[in-house]
Amino acid sequence: MTIDDSPWWSLVCTPVLGFAARSQLEDVLYSAGCGGIWDQASSFDQEMVSSELSEQQSLLTAYFPGEMQPFLSQLILQLEIRKLVADRPRLQVVENEDWLDGWRKNFSLTLLTEQTLVVPSWQELPEGETRLEIKIYPGQGFGTGTHETTRLAAMALEKEIESEAGSISVLDVGTGSGILAILAAKRGADRVVALDIDEEALANARENCAHNQVNEQISLVSHPLTRIEESFTLIVANIIAPILLQMAPEFPRLLKSGGRLILSGILVDQIPELTKTYADLGFFLKPTETMNEWVAFVCEKREV
């Protein structure tokens, strides 16, 4: 994330209740050029206390670079028309130094899995903490460990790596911040390929790989999935369900014999269509954990 001398603007809103709407709101904000989001419901302490907090009408703050200011009134109107906010969002100018300080203050230690913590790159683990740490600088890439889809994918990935006895190769499709690729590398994968078509996301992922000293284990690529020619022990794809449906035909050829595919980013009401599509391609889908309205699957390719 680049911080220059021009002011930033914060758009503060109250999302309507419901996880699908909240996720859609974040997608719209990022698509409009948002440089970062702070979700008041996603602090480390809150996640430890209750899984119901995302049903609260807590504030969400999105940060936009100064040159976006003329377009933000139109964005607010779109949010209201699409009924993604509970009341009218408010705008205020934020000086860059304040923006960065506020971002750092609000992005805190996050529980990714029972064994792994996400730590802001400018912080150290608390004294005596022994769980694995993944250092993340939040940028344009999705994935700071607070969203249910990232946590579901991480839990499944950790479990699948632990169950592997031999050499492990991992493909992370839609890597975003690189958090899942970094987790795979730190949990023992011998080779990790992290793919994202967003160059800004890849820049953020590259920075995070450096923070975690896993540059040698992770190859970052921006070309389409169709151009990947090697096969992998594990594939993880934490993307929205419509994209998972589009990508489905590519996955059988990318998995090694006995390999597994982890799918996350799926709402409960999207399960039937996704299950049928992947079953028709020869996959057996096993649901893993669910979090609120989200579910992840581990898919095994049926042998013929």
Residue 24 covered by a domain: yes
Show the DSSP H helices in the chain as ranges.
19-31, 44-49, 69-81, 96-106, 148-163, 179-186, 199-211, 241-247, 251-254, 271-280
pLDDT at site 274: 94
Does the CA dihedral 230-232-238-239 come out positive or negative? positive
Number of domains in the chain: 2
Give the model confidence (pLDDT) of 129-141 as tens digits: 999 999 988 765 5
Count of positions (residues) in the chain: 304
3-state secondary structure of 66: helix
CATH number at 84 reads 3.30.70.260
Tell me if 100 is assigned to some domain: yes
The predicted pLDDT at position 140 comes to 53
How does residue 187 score in pLDDT terms, banded at 50, 70 and 90? very high
| Distances, alpha carbon 136 to alpha carbons 49, 86, 184, 209, in Å | 23, 31, 15, 9
Check which CATH number belongs to the domain holding 173 and give it: 3.40.50.150
* pLDDT exceeds 80 at position 6: no
Within a domain: 137: no
pTM higher than the cut 0.75: no
3-class DSSP state of 168: coil
pLDDT tens for residues 10-62?
A: 899 999 887 778 878 887 887 787 777 777 655 444 343 333 334 445 788 88
pLDDT reported for residue 3:
38
Distance CA 32, CA 264 (A): 24
